[in-house]
Amino acid sequence: MKRLQSISATAVASQRKLLIPYLVAGDPEADHTLALMHEVVRQGADIIELGFPFSDPASDGPVIQQGIERALASKMHLGDTLDLVRQFRKQDQQTGIVLMGYLNPIEIMGYEAFVNSAAEVGVDGVLIVDMPPTESGSLHVSLRAAGIDTIYLLAPTTDPERAAAIADHCSGYLYYVSLKGVTGAALTDQESVAQNIDTLRQLTDLPIVIGFGIKDAASACAMAGLSDGIIIGSALVSRIGELAGKETVSAADLRSTCEIIGIARTAIDSLN
């Protein structure tokens, strides 16, 4: 059983909602990311979405764009991101790792080299924001052959036919975007989210997790109550940005930065 599948099965068996933080590899500096990855696990993360920086993150709001700019300034690239996963796996073989980003850096590395490296270091899933299922072609096939899940975004504006195609291609989990807009926008329409999640349940048996707009215990509970789990991105990346410029980052700094994950873990566990 693949790692994401095992994590999801364990969560279902224990009636536990999945908690998935997103952070940018190399933000604010390359040396900090590995420590942050381990800290979010200590705070209760089941899976980590690790963003690899790209100079034109069109789907991301200002907070994550700033995180990506900090990562690029620290000279982080896709190869370095894969090496971070390699280092993480020396201590943690349980937590799921999903690489998230844009297609251009993968094309530069080459599909075969990327897939081989991702499998070798212990990547469990890949989410390419600008790679729809109809255009995934050989990369999707290669990832599947390597045992790596391909995860797709599904938006409120996605029509039923396209939603069915996305659900058919997806594995690992389905990422539902809770709102119309970029990352970090405010979450306002819970009723439509609930209706759309109900519709998606008819298309897939995969876990459905909700991202965009989740920033505190209240929004975490609201979205976790409608789904199988939540993703916290901008709210965490904003806190990580406060580490920029620090000469040293202490264990206390790491705990304080990532405490939003612990708060969300406690909040969504209270739903059981």
Q: Decide: 153 and 182 in contact? Cβ < 8 Å.
A: no
Angle at 152 between CA 9 and CA 223, to 5 degrees: 60
Q: Decide: 180 and 156 in contact? Cβ < 8 Å.
A: yes
Q: Helices 78-89 and 30-42 sit at what angle, rounded to 10 degrees?
A: 40
Q: Kindly name the residue from 27, 46, 49, 124 that is annotated as catalytic.
A: 49
Rounded Cα distance, 78 and 13, in Å: 35
Q: Is the peptide bond before 28 cis (omega within 30 degrees of 0)?
A: yes
User: Quick one: which of 17, 8, 14 has its CA closest to 269?
Assistant: 17
Q: Decide: 52 and 25 in contact? Cβ < 8 Å.
A: yes
Name the helix (H) or strand (E) containing 155: none
User: Quick one: which of 65, 229, 248, 242 has its CA closest to 261?
Assistant: 229
Q: Kindly name the residue from 27, 39, 60, 124 that is annotated as catalytic.
A: 60
Beta strands per DSSP E along the chain? 18-24, 47-51, 96-101, 125-128, 149-151, 153-154, 174-177, 208-211, 229-232
φ, ψ (nearest 5 deg) of residue 150: -110, 120
Active site residue 205: no
Integer distance in angstroms from the first to the last C-alpha of the chain?
26
Rounded Cα distance, 74 and 105, in Å: 16
**Residues labelled as active-site residues:** 49, 60
